[in-house]
């Protein structure tokens, strides 16, 4: 007796042919930060956390472990300590980020960690993940959001701006350049000047 197949053939649709995007655009980051400012009791802290993670390509654990001793507000520098045996570096801090960090420091003058929970300890990576996910839903993003998308957003933004792959590698703390090349391979602007009229 022959067994009948219980699986049905799926007809392709736009949904199951679409490649999942692994990063956010600058406009989407701004939308997420705007939602953070309006969403909860700690809007400024949450928006600043998203901004710092995005601008410096930080992983969730790196932004959660960020301490004030790593930030030189007077010099406008951030000493980035990488996990996963990444290359540490010193990044510049821009004006809007500097103002946000100064306000955060005034709000939490005695804390060692930059991003502190209600209980006074550092926000953990799981808490940050939940925060970003919640804000993505509140901002009505068309797909689920997670913190690593902020790191990818940084890589794609800098690659699209034409920054050198080797410099981008060091900025993101990659030991292996193969991890950095993905940003330049997928940059939509890479063919922009081909076949100019």
pLDDT digit string, tens, across residues 170-179: 899 988 877 7
Here the CATH number for the domain that contains residue 61 is 1.10.443.10
By the 8 A CB rule, do 155 and 172 touch?
Answer: yes
Residue 131 belongs to some domain of the structure:
yes
Which pLDDT tens digit goes with each residue over 115-163? 999 999 999 999 999 999 999 999 999 999 999 999 999 998 988 888 8
Q: Between 45 and 6, where is the model more confident?
A: 45
Residue 93 belongs to some domain of the structure:
yes
Residue 129 belongs to some domain of the structure:
yes
Q: Which of 134, 148, 163, 179 is catalytic?
A: 148
DSSP sequence for 94-150: -HHHHHHHHHHHHHSTT-SBSSB-TTSSBPPHHHHHHHHHHHHHHTT-SS---THHH
Q: Which of 35, 45, 56, 59 is catalytic?
A: 59
Q: Is residue 105 among the annotated active site residues? A: no
Residue 147 belongs to some domain of the structure:
yes
Which pLDDT tens digit goes with each residue over 11-52? 544 444 445 778 899 999 999 999 999 988 899 999 999 999
Residue 127 belongs to some domain of the structure:
yes
Provide the CA 43 distance to its chain's centre, in angstroms: 17
pTM: 0.83
pLDDT at 175: 83
Using alpha carbons only, what angle is made at residue 27 by residues 92 and 147, rounded to the nearest 5 degrees? 70
Long-range contacts of 156-159 (CB under 8 A, 24+ apart): 156/23, 156/183, 156/186, 156/187, 157/26, 158/183, 159/183, 159/184, 159/187
Cα separation values, 31 from 9, 26, 106, 123, 147, Å: 39, 9, 25, 22, 15
Per the DSSP assignment, residues forming a β-bridge with 113 are: 67
Q: 44 φ, ψ to 5°?
A: -65, -45
Residue 142 belongs to some domain of the structure:
yes
Q: Is residue 174 among the annotated active site residues? A: yes
Residues 19, 16: Cα–Cα separation, whole Å: 8
Residue 197 belongs to some domain of the structure:
no
State how many domains the chain has.
Answer: 1
Residue 47 belongs to some domain of the structure:
yes
Q: Is the pLDDT of residue 182 over 80?
A: no
Q: Which of 55, 56, 151, 157 is catalytic?
A: 151
Q: Which of 21, 37, 38, 84 is catalytic?
A: 84
Q: How much is the CA Rg of the chain, to the nearest whole Å? A: 20
Provide the CA 140 distance to its chain's centre, in angstroms: 18
What range defines the domain where residue 132 resides?
A: 23-188
């Amino acid at each position: 007796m022959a067994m009948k197949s219980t699986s049905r053939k799926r007809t392709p649709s736009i949904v199951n042919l679409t490649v999942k995007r692994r990063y956010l655009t600058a406009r989407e980051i701004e939308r997420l930060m705007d939602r953070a400012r309006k969403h909860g009791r700690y809007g400024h802290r949450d928006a600043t956390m998203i901004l710092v993670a995005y601008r410096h390509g930080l992983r969730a654990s790196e932004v959660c472990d960020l301490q004030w001793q790593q930030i030189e507000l007077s010099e406008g520098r951030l000493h980035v300590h990488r996990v996963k045996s990444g290359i540490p570096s010193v990044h510049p801090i821009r004006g809007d980020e500097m103002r946000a960090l100064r306000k955060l420091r005034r709000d939490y003058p005695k804390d060692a960690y930059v991003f502190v929970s209600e209980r006074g300890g550092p926000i953990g990576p799981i808490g940050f993940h939940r925060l970003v996910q919640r804000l993505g839903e509140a901002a009505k993003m068309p797909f689920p959001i997670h913190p690593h998308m902020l790191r990818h957003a940084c890589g794609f933004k800098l690659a699209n701006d034409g920054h050198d792959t080797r410099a981008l590698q060091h900025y993101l703390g990659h030991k292996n350049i193969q991890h950095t090349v993905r940003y330049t391979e997928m940059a939509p602007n890479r063919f922009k000047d081909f076949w100019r009229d």
